[in-house]
Structure 1
């Protein structure tokens, strides 16, 4: 994963998602496939996810091993399930001039992810599954 430059970090912010319409699953897919996006929470790097064709993903929290999974749309939210945990993690995604913003399901005052970088390069994984 590429290092985040300080100006990109300035794009991350804490607090509620700015007003706007959530994006659809089709818009999310069109935006994300073929990219690895890095996300921050409150200005701190949270993790990165590589978006593959067929709604498949590879996720890694900062400094941790990668987890393969997939995503699907459910009632307007984008839900992720991973090989290590089949419990759906559902988010509402928004797009603005800085990239994607995501609000965790049922947590309007809590967890918000902000896209801070993107690259076409694959996600670099730590641990036993190096080189996804």
Structure 2
């Protein structure tokens, strides 16, 4: 990106998506942005799920149903951010970009998959009461 393009991205709010699409976050940038926080993601205007980013690249994911899955993230040889979970050991790889309103996550295992976007973030841990509580 040229210096002029970078300045335009910083000044022009409407250029935000074009600038965000320019370069995925590195592992170091992703780690610095997410560690110690819980992110809530949306898809197509609806809630999708939440992920708590713990230390040492550990994560906790929920589809907002009260059931949480423990996992880890790492980078692959292409620099993608990949996740494995206790119930899904095959890597799920994503590219993360800075959008005008937060993270944009693109699922790279399926080029036709819809993007997720950051709805909000919190310093509070993810609530995981478990499925079928009280049954």
Which category of TM-score, normalised to the shorter sequence, fits these structures? 0.7 to 0.9
What is the CA distance between 1:111 and its match in structure 2? 2.1
Q: What are structure 2's unaligned runs of at least 5 residues? A: 1-19
Larger CA Rg, structure 1 vs 2: 2
What is the CA distance between 1:127 and its match in structure 2? 1.2
Higher helix share: 2
| SS state at 1:54 partner | helix
- Number of aligned residue pairs: 112
| Among candidates 103, 106, 121, match of residue 106 of structure 2 | 103
**Could you tell me how far apart the structure 1 residues matched to 2:62 and 2:31 are?**
19
Give the aligned CA root-mean-square deviation in angstroms.
1.6
Superposed counterparts of 1:41-60, under 5 Å = 41-60=43-62
Is the CA contact 2:92–2:109 (under 8 Å) kept in the aligned structure 1? no
| Among candidates 32, 35, 56, match of residue 34 of structure 2 | 32
**Could you tell me how far apart the structure 2 residues matched to 1:107 and 1:89 are?**
10
What is the CA distance between 1:19 and its match in structure 2? 2.5
Residue 11 of structure 1: aligned partner: none
**Could you tell me how far apart the structure 1 residues matched to 2:111 and 2:22 are?**
14
Higher mean Cα deviation, 47-56 or 18-27?
18-27
| SS state at 1:127 partner | coil
Divergent runs of 4+, >6 A: none
**Could you tell me how far apart the structure 2 residues matched to 1:82 and 1:110 are?**
19
Name the structure, 1 or 2, with higher relative contact order (CA <8 Å, separation 6+).
Answer: 1
Residue 80 of structure 2: aligned partner: 77
Task: Determine if the alignment matches structure 1 residue 122 to structure 2 residue 134.
Answer: no
